[in-house]
Amino acid sequence: MKFSTLVFDKELLQKYSTLTIISGVLMLIIGAIGVFLPGMMSIVVVTFLGWLFLMSAGVQAYVTFQNYRRSFSAWLKPTLLFIVGALLLFYPIEGIVATALLLVTYLLIDAYSSFGFALDYKPHSGWWLLIVNAIISILLAVFIMLGWPVSSIFWVGIYAAISLFFDGVALIAMGLGARKIAKEV
């Protein structure tokens, strides 16, 4: 049975389907927990971002020290990464408010990506869940902006959790679809 012009490797599909389903289940669980603890999820998101920026600052500082230590402008990036990471960790509430704007950007990019992937993945099973994910991401972005900045502490956690939950559902559906295709290849 021919699904599309794409060529599928059975072994790769089986590996892909298992990893996709595992990732989807983990995202679904984290998202479900976040729905019940939105304030905690907001703090986790901002703390994660803060540490990510600090680790990136360390790596960038090392590379700069090894290769460009005499260049004043090369030190700008690790310095800014360090400052932003420290600010997120030391001022988490303000970080959540700023993260709300970043989340709006992420959700709009996620929606674009999901629409595009859904069109590429169609007519395989689960493609319509990517469309649902995209529509939900757009709605979440609009709702964040309507309540910003006052409701950021609550909505950042809720929206991150909902997005993770539906991304998990979409990944599980894609993994199951890949298993089905692998059986038919």
Whole-number pLDDT of residue 94: 94
Q: CB within 8 A of 8, min separation 6: which ones?
A: 181, 182, 185
Q: Please report which helix (H) or strand (E) contains residue 60, including its range.
A: helix 38-68
Measured distance CA(13)–CA(175) in Å, rounded: 9
Q: What's the whole-number mean pLDDT along residues 102-127?
A: 88
Whole-number pLDDT of residue 21: 93
Residues across the chain: 185
Measured distance CA(69)–CA(50) in Å, rounded: 25
Helices (H), 69-126: 76-90, 92-121
Q: What is the pTM of this model?
A: 0.67
